[in-house]
A and B are shown apart, each in its own frame.
Chain A
Amino acid sequence: MSATFGYTGKILRVNLSTGAISIDDTMKYIDFIGGEGMAMKIMWDEVAAGTHPFAPENKIVFGTGPLCGSGVPCSGRTNITSLLPSNPYHAVSSSHMGGYFSVELKYAGWDMIVLEGRSPKPVWLRIEDDKIRLEDARWLWGKGIFDTMAMIGSQMGKEAQVAAIGQAGENQLNLAVIRTGSSHSAGGHGGILGSKNLKAIAVRGTGSVKIAADRHALMDADKYLMSLIGANNQHVVPRNPQPWAEFTSPTSRWLAKKGLYWGAANPPVETGECYPEDMQSVGLRTQKAIMDLGPVAEKYTVRMGGCAHCPIRCHSQVNIPQLEQYGVDTNVSNTCMGFFSPAGIMINGMPDKPGMEKGEGAMIGRALGAKLADDYGMWCNYGQIGRDVMYAYSTGIFKKVLPAAEYASIPWDKLESGDPAFLIDFYDRVANKKGELWHIADGSYWLAKRWNFGEDYWNDYKYKLWSKLGFPVHHSNEASGQVGALISCFSNRDAQNHSHMNFIQAGLPINLLKEIAAEEWGSPDAIDDIKNYKPMNEGKAKFVKWSLTRSLLHNSLTLCNWMWPMTTSPLKARGYRGDTALEAKFYSLVTGIEKSKEDLDRDSERAFTLFRALTVRAMKTADMRNEHDQTTAWVVTAEKGKDGKDIQPFTPGTDRMTQADMELGRTLVYKEFGWDQKTGAPTRATLEALGLGDVANGLASAGLLPA
């Protein structure tokens, strides 16, 4: 293996059945960029269709990218790719986590880890630079993730970065996470580590990521990027009026203002005015705790945390002494859904008890649930688990499907009254696979079958199921109409895509966003004003394709798609333009492999088309349009206005789509990708043009190439 820049050049392969450890060459996968892209290639080549996710033959790939560890802002993410247990076809999918794990892995000298087989006994994988060992995990098995990390740290050294599963993963729940650090979870693949008898991977790296370019060139690029960066989700406009700001936006995550504090810091830290040019206040822009936990959380906020090499801090780190009464630690870190999904399980809310401040009850409950789910390693299917509880409870299904004794033993009174202590009981039963209730963690598709959910479960908007494949909305039709709606149609789980979200929520006026859209996707009509959507057009299709491929690009480089791409900036002098060629600029500087924006777009398209081929192969049909890409019915059903009448689609006030328009949308997106416009499957011509001739042959031999 030759010397490499950005890439370490080495992939670690571990066969858990035999204990064999080997080294593979990263550079043979270079056409797929890194992380998620390379993992798609490995899954295509090495895991046969029809393999069960929990079978030893399944592989799981932990991937970093060439920018990870280089210090490029927001480059701390880890991509995890494998068969997805919650998916009806066990189709390949990815989960991602932030934190510091991937950076440590790079510094240990590894771009990726590929695991296969099943260990005869519980083990954990110890990586200290080039020293690799499988360690006995008998004392860790059965433990929560926090204690697991501490026990490994006590053996390996306090610097070790650990990715681990909790009881949920050990018990091979479909809804289990792999977690690293204080609060970084990759949802959906925890059970696969459990099936392999692998409790954790721990890494210590004393090496480096080599930079190809002159150091000053990289430092200059960093400085330039930092001038364009906004707040969390690349919101470039503050929520509150600031002396420097021309615009404000009520949904902006640029929350800092005078008088808003990290209240539990000692002394309290004021977030302040955060002038865009002030590089020493970038990390104060996002006071996320007051979004995650409500305004009451300000005084409990110790600081904002986040991931390696990211100046934007989006993890709320709070100390809530009231948690002691529930027997858990008072320090809790998480972000977004980590806090919202426990609140979703508490279907009647969590009202304030007498003497509490406004919102304190909900804050305590959210933090308690986040801590419990993070310790057990439970996944929430992007918040769907709460709506599944709501459905099963409100329809009386729990009473029907749970054995009488089990039903009677569940403290439903706590759920009814909104006592957060319900969560303690709930997570214990589910993560520890007790009774029948734990099947709530099968994921929507399997659960609906097992418990015989009605069609209303899929069709009623309030359950927010996006696809009969069993996943919910995640910045779908409510996120720029067809753009978000179509993005959500191409994945095998919730879309996890922020390429579009960051742009449409940047906080800028719609006319300005339309100008930028015209520059990026060839038409101002690629974006409509919120809830005033117009029928499908080619600009939207280009925006959809760009969003899908950019997200995959970020998961391959690895950059955070919750910050990147830098489509806009807070700079009035630039007309609020960002720079969407920055990924390519950093790629070229760090790796020394010169790539333009178009080159990387092409590479991403190759990897995304391979992902599509993997889905075709898993589902054993080329008819993606009808078998994969459809939505649930509510998406294309007119919603009722306050007057009880249907709000006509494509009129102000609704974000519902129509079936015909969505079908046109699918056609236009297929066309952008060069896929078969009837079925949405990749064609031989497109596969060959992307250098995927072997994939075309594979699909052809299975009869899965479109005519």
Chain B
Amino acid sequence: MMGTTNDAAQDTSNQKTQTRRDFLKITGVGLAGAFAAAALGCISVDTRDGRKLKAWRTSSGAIVHDPNLCVGCRRCETACTVRNDGKASAYISRIKVARNFNYGAAGVTAAYAVADGQQGNFRLVGETCRQCSHPACGDACPVGAITADKKTGARVVDAKRCVGCGACEDACPWGMATVDPETKKSTKCLLCDGDPSCAKTCPTGALAFYPWEEAEALLFGTDATSGATAVSGASA
């Protein structure tokens, strides 16, 4: 294994189950199920009113990108893919700088010269996986290939189980999960065993790992109900 130590990533004190309200409704699962969720990272259960519910252990944190500090070198992209895929690529990088690089997230507009991006005001909007508390990628996966990593809580893809269907890619509201066209396996941020390769390689400190409470505030805003499903409106 790659990982070495990273104090922030190893701090598991704030790992908690985010779906307490749903848990109250759970029948027939009880404490045993909750323990199972903690051990496996996530568990699928039936609620009293007959809904399927997946409960996820919270991630230890997430990587956050600072558009003000980023210099657009995109060393993070190769640091990510060399470590995790044994090859260098921008498309499957779990940190996405390339796609907003030229013209910002909005893409080409008539006002491109003053909009985000290298062809405009130079602002570089990199995107990172939010490690959502209710990860749409994991909920969408038909084969249960996405689970919470035991050590970091990151929502990780088990390549052996992944069938490359692209459901995670379609489901993620942030467009982060990406099926590798060469391997037909999904790639998404796995927090590099607690020592994210992208952040280590960033020459200006524009990428950094934050513990969950801080990451949530930075990525979703301080008052947000975090998670992909909160945005998609499907959350309780």
Contact = CB atoms under 8 A, between A and B. Distances in A.
Partners in one complex: yes
A159 B102 contact: yes
B91 A107 contact: yes
A149 B98 contact: no
B68 A266 contact: yes
A284 interface: yes
Interface in B66-87: 68-75, 77-79, 81-83, 85-87
A70 interface: yes
B92 interface: yes
B90 A107 contact: yes
Contacts of B101: 100, 159
Contacts of A157: 107
A306 B68 contact: no
A219 B83 contact: yes
A208 B88 contact: yes
Interface in A459-513: none
Contacts of B90: 103-104, 107, 205
Contacts of B77: 71
B79 A333 contact: no
B137 to A, nearest CB: 19
A143 interface: no
B27 interface: no
Interface stretch (B54-62, B117-125, B160-168, B226-234): B117-125
Contact of B99 (A158, A205, A309, A313): A158
Closest 3 CB pairs of A and B: A71-B78, A283-B203, A208-B89
B113 interface: yes
B2 interface: yes
Nearest to B208: A280
A283 B118 contact: no
Contact of A280 (B72, B107, B182, B203): B203
B113 A158 contact: no
A622 interface: no
Given A283-B73, A311-B73, A207 B119 contact: no
Interface string B201-227: 111110000000000000000000000
B114 A107 contact: no
Given A150-B108, A150-B112, A207-B182, A215 B86 contact: yes
Contact of B202 (A215, A280, A308): A280
A161 B117 CA distance: 13
Contacts of B121: 302, 319, 331
Contacts of A210: 86-87
B181 interface: yes
Given A302-B123, A313-B73, 19 more contacts: A70-B78, A71-B82, A129-B181, A146-B119, A150-B108, A150-B119, A158-B102, A158-B107, A159-B98, A182-B118, A208-B88, A209-B89, A210-B86, A211-B87, A266-B68, A309-B73, A319-B121, A331-B120, A333-B122
Contacts of A266: 68
A211 B82 contact: yes
B204 A215 contact: no
A208 B81 contact: yes
A69 B91 CA distance: 12
A107 B102 CA distance: 17
B122 A331 contact: yes
A329 interface: yes
Interface string A218-239: 1100100000000000000000
Nearest to A103: B90
B53 to A, nearest CB: 35
A300 B152 CA distance: 41
A206 B77 CA distance: 13
Interface string A303-342: 1111111111100010100000000011101000000000
A207 B203 contact: no
A304 B73 CA distance: 10
A181 interface: yes
Given A71-B82, A208-B89, A210-B87, A309 B119 contact: no
A149 to B, nearest CB: 6
A131 interface: no
A347 interface: no
A265 interface: yes
Contacts of B87: 208-211
A208 B71 contact: no
A325 to B, nearest CB: 16
A279 interface: yes
Nearest to B80: A71
Nearest to A317: B122
A211 B87 CA distance: 5
Contact of B203 (A208, A282, A333): A282
Contacts of B203: 279-284, 311-313
A269 interface: yes
A636 B90 CA distance: 51
B158 to A, nearest CB: 19
Interface residues of A, number: 61
- Interface majority SS on B: helix, strand, loop or mixed? loop
B74 A308 contact: yes
Contacts of A18: none
Given A71-B82, A281-B204, A283-B203, A269 B71 contact: no
A149 B118 CA distance: 12
A265 B107 CA distance: 22
B13 to A, nearest CB: 25
A154 interface: yes
B200 interface: yes
Contacts of B79: 71, 219
A381 to B, nearest CB: 26
A305 B121 CA distance: 12
B119 A149 contact: yes
Contact of B82 (A154, A218, A280): A218
Given A158-B103, A280-B204, A283-B203, A305 B114 contact: no
Given A215-B82, A283-B73, A331-B113, A153 B102 contact: yes
A129 B91 CA distance: 12
12 contacts: A158-B107, A206-B92, A208-B85, A219-B79, A280-B205, A281-B204, A281-B205, A283-B71, A308-B73, A317-B122, A331-B120, A333-B122
Contacts of B2: 216
Nearest to A204: B91
A329 B78 contact: no
Interface string A65-87: 00001110100000000000000
A149 B197 CA distance: 32
Interface in A36-77: 69-71, 73
Contacts of B102: 149, 153, 158-161, 181
Contacts of B200: 279
A243 interface: no
A502 B63 CA distance: 36
B75 A311 contact: yes
B91 to A, nearest CB: 4
Contact of A107 (B71, B85, B89, B124): B89
Contacts of A330: 114
Among B72, B118, B181, find the residue whose CB has the most chain A CB atoms closer than 10 A: B72
Contacts of B69: 265, 269
Nearest to A71: B78
B204 A70 contact: no
A211 B86 CA distance: 6
A259 interface: no
